[in-house]
Structure 1
Amino acid sequence: MATQLYETDFYGWTQEQSAKLRALLVERSNLDLDIENILEEIDSLGRSDHHQLVSRFEEIAIHLLKLHYSTILECENTWKNSVRGQRGRIARLLRRSPSLKPLLGDALSEGYEDALRHFSDEKLIELCMPEHLPGSSPFGIEDCLTDEWWPELRGRN
């Protein structure tokens, strides 16, 4: 069973294995295994997938914000290509670890917060963007993950 979960939901497998090792540690504290460090390594594998999800949402948010607000036309295709690439990578990640799906909202929020740090005052002026970007993502999960969905191009109106 565990092998099947490993093959179908890596993140779920890391969570399950960590829980089982913790129970084993309590049950058989005399085992000569470095369970604490094994647990840390397994947990870090799962955190890596979650971190990757947040990072991909960060890139999507950066480029959707630029598309939404910027008046720079010559970069539009580059930004769209970046979003398309990240959408594809998230889709692959979710196929590999479907138990990450309930974490999408949190990952989008974290990624958006990280994206905001990308926009210094200088960058906002350079891109002709508003002085203050929204504090939370104006884009929903579906917006970020739906192929060929693009924000309204406010910077060009």
Structure 2
Amino acid sequence: MEIGVGHAYSLRMSDVGELYERDFYAWTQDQAALLRAWPEALRPNALDLNHLAEEIEDLGKSQRRAARSLLLQVIQHLLKLRLHPDRQSEQRWKKDVNGFRDQLRDVFAENPSLRAARDELAADLWARAVASLRRDLELDGFDSRAAMAPLPDPAEPCFDLDREILAEDWFPQPPAG
């Protein structure tokens, strides 16, 4: 979610401070847009606004990367719980999922605009998680094709983002047999 320059100019100073406290990611995108829109003739001497805007924008992007990384970790572990034949690590995987979900809730609480963009954040993560599982299964000495056979279509997510991946206590059923 990018905040446009028009939005930035409509904010009062008190609103900008509130935005910083309420949604850090949105604030960084807003402030970067303001810096880029600053008329050249009014810029203070030697102030490198383009690079300042880029650095501020990158602060917000680090929050976005954190959310994507945590989502990926949750999906990878849920896939292991659903498909990995070796059940010895099941409790650890569940604890890891709980920890990743807690961290993700914190990122979303500090950056509600990222929570609103959760579908976009997760869009390409399924394919990465499936590829990671395939590699892990092979490294662990399992036939990845056989283990992943229960997936109707490995290219399509089999977990619902809100009802399962982000749900506090949801875990998939382990593989049969």
Bin the TM-score by the shorter chain.
0.7 to 0.9
State yes or no: 1:57 paired with 2:78: no
Match of 2:40 in 1: 28
Greater per-residue helix proportion: 1
Q: How does 1:6-155 map onto structure 2 within 5 Å? A: 6-24=20-38, 27-29=39-41, 31=43, 32=45, 33-118=47-132, 119-120=134-135, 122-123=138-139, 126=142, 129-130=147-148, 134-142=154-162, 143-153=164-174, 155=175
Measure the CA separation in 2 of the matches of 1:137 and 1:29: 51
Measure the CA separation in 2 of the matches of 1:100 and 1:40: 19
Matched positions, count: 154
* Structure 1: gaps (5+ residues): none
One-letter code of the match for 1:150?
F
One-letter code of the match for 2:110?
R
Over the aligned positions, Cα root-mean-square deviation in angstroms equals 2.1
Measure the CA separation in 1 of the matches of 2:92 and 2:157: 21
One-letter code of the match for 1:144?
I
Larger Rg: 2
Between the two structures, name the one with larger relative contact order (CA 8 Å, sep ≥ 6): 1
TM-score (normalised: structure 2): 0.78
